[in-house]
Amino acid sequence: MTSATSLLGALADVGADRVRGGYSRHGFDRVDVELREWFTAEAGARGLGVETDRNGNLWAWWGAPGPNAVVTGSHLDSVPGGGAFDGPLGVVSALAAVDALRAQGFRPARPLAVVVFAEEEGGRFGVPCLGSRLLAGTLDADRARELKDPDGTTLAEAVRAAGLDPRWLGPEPDLLSLVGCFVELHVEQGRGLVDLDAPVGVASSILAHGRWRLTFHGEGNHAGATPLADRCDPMMPAASLVLAARRAAGSVPGARATVGRLVPTPGGTNVIPSTVDVWLDARAPGDADTRRVVDDVVAAAHEAAEAEGCTVTVREESYGDTVVFDSGLRDELAGVLGGVPALPTGAGHDAGVLAQRIPTAMLFVRNPTGVSHAPAEHAEAADCESGVSALARVLAHLAGSPC
C-alpha cells in the first residue's frame, strides 16, 4: 500500500520552477503531459481503466463505468510558482485510498472512479476549472477554443498538440449523468483546521468569485523625451486600480480583491506603455457583494483613466456564484468521519463547478500555516495520511452498497 506522501514525492521534480520557486504546471503543456502520463501509469498499475474525455479530463475506473458512480479526484496543474499540495494531494490521496480499500478486501458495489480535471487553476488560459466547466456545459466551447495563453497559443492548438481533437470540446451530459456524487479531497487553503485542532474537515460553501481583465489604453512614447504634462500613460490608472481594489474590498465585510498580474505593452524599461492589462480577482460571501466590489473598482478605473487621457475596457473572464455544498451529503460524510468540522472556503474548486449538476462534497486536510498558491504551502505527512484514511472511509461508505 502506497502513502500519499510517497506518491507526492514521485512528482517532486516535475514542473519545478527554478525562477519562481514551487511548481509551474499548466494545462496541456509539456509538464502537464508528463503528469498525465504518470497518472495513467499509476492508475494502470492498480488495474484501473483510464479514459480521456473530450475535454482532456482523465477518468480511472475501478470496474466498468456505470450509473450512480462514486467519483473522487482533483487536479494536477498549478498556479505559476504554486505549492506541491494544491491539486495533487487530492489525486494521490485518491490512489492511496484505492490501495487502502483493496488491502481491506473491499470491492465497490457501485462504480467508482478517480478523475483528474484539466487546467483547474487557469494558469495558462485564464479560465479556472476549465475541464470541469466544459464537462458541465458552463463554459461555451467556441469561446474556450479561442482562449489564448501568454504566448498566443489557443486552447484549440494546445489541445491538438496534446493529441486531442478540439472540435469535440464541450458538454458531456451522458458522462456526467453516470456520476452519482463527487468527493474532492484538497489541502485547506486557510488555517481554519489549525485553529480547530482537527486534521480533517468538510467544506460547507465557496465564496462567489471571478476574474476580470481591465485593459488601459494610452499612448506609447519615450520615457526620457516625453514631459509629464504631455503623457497619456496607462500605467497611472493601472496603479490606481490596484489601490482601488483594496479599498473596495475593505468596504464589504468578508470580501477580497487582488491584483496578481499586470502586463504593460511593450514592456520596456525606458518606454511609456501603450497599453496595460490588469487582472482583478474579486470574491465575497454573496453575488451582490462581489458585484459591488467589482463595480466600485471599475468605476474607479474609468475615473483614473479619464484623468490621464486614457481609456479602459473591461472583460469578465470567469465567474461563479456562491456554492453551498449538498447539505445532506456533507452531513453524511461528517458523520461517517465522527463529526469533523465543516468550514467555508474562499478558494474555487472543480467540486464547486460540478455542484450545479450533481451532489458534491469536499474533504480538507489541515494546512499548518494556511499558506497556499505559494511554494511554502504545506501539510504534515501524518495529516495527509489522515486524509487518505478519511477518504477511504467515505468511499467505502458511499460505494459499499448499491442505491
User: Using 50, 70 and 90 to split pLDDT, how confident is the model at 353?
Assistant: very high
What integer pLDDT is reported at residue 279 of this predicted model? 98
Integer distance in angstroms from the first to the last C-alpha of the chain?
29
Return d(Cα 103, Cα 1) in angstroms, integer: 7
Amino acid at 129: C
Sequence-ordered strand ranges (E) for 14-101:
49-52, 58-62, 69-75
DSSP codes, 160-222: HHTT--GGG-S--HHHHTTEEEEEEEEE-SSSHHHHHT-SEEEEEEE-EEEEEEEEEE---EE
Q: Stretch 110-131: mean pLDDT, rounded?
A: 97
Give the predicted TM-score (pTM) of the model.
0.94
The x, y and z cell numbers of residue 52, run together, are: 480521456
Return d(Cα 214, Cα 301) in angstroms, integer: 8
The total of other beta-carbon atoms located within 10 Å of residue 137's CB is 15
What integer pLDDT is reported at residue 395 of this predicted model? 98
The x, y and z cell numbers of residue 16, run together, are: 519545478
Q: Which residue has the cell 483594496?
A: 246
User: Using 50, 70 and 90 to split pLDDT, how confident is the model at 2?
Assistant: confident
CA distances from 266 to 54, 276, 278 (A): 37, 9, 14
Q: Is the pLDDT of residue 65 over 80?
A: yes
Q: Is the pLDDT of residue 339 over 90?
A: yes
Q: Is the pLDDT of residue 403 over 90?
A: no
Taking a C-beta distance cutoff of 8 angstroms, is the pair 88, 377 a contact? no
- CA torsion sign, 369 to 372 to 374 to 380? positive
What integer pLDDT is reported at residue 401 of this predicted model? 67
Taking a C-beta distance cutoff of 8 angstroms, is the pair 135, 176 a contact? yes
Collapsed DSSP state (helix, strand, coil) of residue 65: coil
Return d(Cα 181, Cα 348) in angstroms, integer: 18
179-229 pLDDT, tens digit each: 999 999 999 999 999 999 999 999 999 999 999 999 999 999 999 999 999
The closest of 33, 345, 296 to 190, measured between CA atoms, is 345
Which residues on neighbouring strands pair with residue 210, listed in sequence order? 282, 319
Taking a C-beta distance cutoff of 8 angstroms, is the pair 206, 188 a contact? no
The total of other beta-carbon atoms located within 10 Å of residue 163's CB is 11
The x, y and z cell numbers of residue 305, run together, are: 483613466
What integer pLDDT is reported at residue 222 of this predicted model? 98
The chain-wide mean pLDDT, for the chain, equals: 96
Amino acid at 4: A
Q: Stretch 16-45: mean pLDDT, rounded?
A: 97
Taking a C-beta distance cutoff of 8 angstroms, is the pair 334, 394 a contact? no
Collapsed DSSP state (helix, strand, coil) of residue 387: helix
Helix 30-45, helix 88-103: angle, nearest 10: 10
Amino acid at 243: L
Q: How many helices (H) and strands (E) does the chain have?
A: 13, 15
Which residues on neighbouring strands pair with residue 179, listed in sequence order? 69
Q: Is the pLDDT of residue 246 over 90?
A: yes
The closest of 326, 102, 74 to 203, measured between CA atoms, is 326
Return d(Cα 157, Cα 309) in angstroms, integer: 38
Query: What is the CA angle 274-276-280, rounded to 5?
Result: 165
- Eight-class DSSP state of 70: E
